[in-house]
Amino acid sequence: MHHIVFLDRSTLIADLPRPAFPHTWVEHPLTPPEAVGAALAHATIAIANKSPITAQALAQAPHLQLVAVAATGVNNVDLAACRARGVTVTNIRGYAEHTVPEHVFMLLLALRRNLIAWRQSLRAGAWQRAQTFCLFEHAIHDLHGTTLGIVGHGSIGRGVARLAQAFGMRVLLAEHKDASRCRPGYTPFDQVLARADHLSLHCPLTDETRGLIGAREFDLMQPHAVLINCARGGLVDEAALLDALTRGRIAGAAVDVLSTEPPAQGNPLLEQDLPNLLITPHVAWASREAMQTLGEQLIRVLEAFVAGRPINLVEPAR
């Protein structure tokens, strides 16, 4: 019988059917990093959204066979340690292909059409004092006819591209930053930065992508460009982003992710009140519909593993 431990159940608002195999189920709202090993002492299956699965935790989990990540990104898991101990790692795929692109365009439209500034003007009574039927206090720009650069062309990147095309935008798919050759249908990374009116990030956080966008990259971008990051906070050098915004090196940015979450010790981006910076608290993925889809896929992943037909493999056991 499998013993399943969900380390951070409060991170998923969904109705979870119980797996169709003999099991016990224990769930914790959240598990502090230092308590993960003890929580997994008797587990054969661990479910984790963001709880860290470290080598130290794995050493305390001698029965563990599967780490099922309740998300797409697996940067919270020590993959090398799992491989060494013969622990399979899986993730969730495709569940956010609608919700994250919608969030991207919510942020992009809010910036380009100056939604926050208009709200503030109306709260201040500017329309009531107007001499004509409308106000022209804030610039409004269309998305139609502009160019969107996309870094990362998985299911979410493809979803963003579909919406961009529906808006009448040109789409450039960025090749890997240091690629020696460019794949058909892709554009060299630096060219995308130089040509894009808007840049949206949708790649995983790895050793290769950490700090992907920094001072050098902001200097390549157009002054009217907007950066959107709904992927991982570590992709962007936050100090460089703040500098680019305050110097007017780029026109605006919207981020759904920060380098450390929650930002309990603060974050330089949160300490500013910039009219051209929007921040949401890592919720681009979290529509109720998307979370339910994630939860149902998670149970299918567990059932497939126990049936000997694993799916969504990140690290097969060796």
Per-residue pLDDT of 75-124, as tens digits, reads: 899 999 999 999 999 999 999 999 999 999 999 999 999 999 999 999 99
Residue 315 confidence class, pLDDT cut points 50, 70, 90: confident
In a 10 Å sphere around its CB, with 0-12 CB exposed, 13-18 middle and 19+ buried, how is residue 60 labelled? middle
Predicted confidence at residue 73, as pLDDT, reads 87
Radius of gyration of the chain (CA): 22
Does the pLDDT value for residue 302 go beyond 80? yes
> What global pTM score does this model have?
0.90
Residue pair 195/171 in contact by the 8 Å Cβ criterion? no
Would the CA dihedral through 68, 71, 72, 73 be positive or negative?
Answer: negative
What the block records as the tokens of 307 is 């049936």
What the block records as the tokens of 11 is 């991170």
Residue 318 confidence class, pLDDT cut points 50, 70, 90: low
Residue pair 39/59 in contact by the 8 Å Cβ criterion? no
Which positions are annotated as active-site residues? 232, 261, 282
In a 10 Å sphere around its CB, with 0-12 CB exposed, 13-18 middle and 19+ buried, how is residue 25 labelled? middle
242 alpha carbon, distance to own chain's centre: 20
| Helices (H) then strands (E): counts for the chain | 10, 12
User: CA-based angle 252:224:181, to the nearest 5?
Assistant: 95
Residue 69 confidence class, pLDDT cut points 50, 70, 90: very high
Residue 272 confidence class, pLDDT cut points 50, 70, 90: confident
Beta bridge partners of residue 27, listed in sequence order:
6
* Fold for the domain defined by 99-279: Rossmann fold (3.40.50)
Distance CA 160, CA 148 (A): 9
Q: What mean pLDDT do residues 198-217 have?
A: 95
What the block records as the tokens of 290 is 């998307």
The DSSP code for 9 is: G
Q: What is the CATH class of 2-95+289-315?
A: alpha beta
Residue 146 confidence class, pLDDT cut points 50, 70, 90: very high
Where does CATH 3.40.50.720 sit in the chain? 2-95+289-315, 99-279
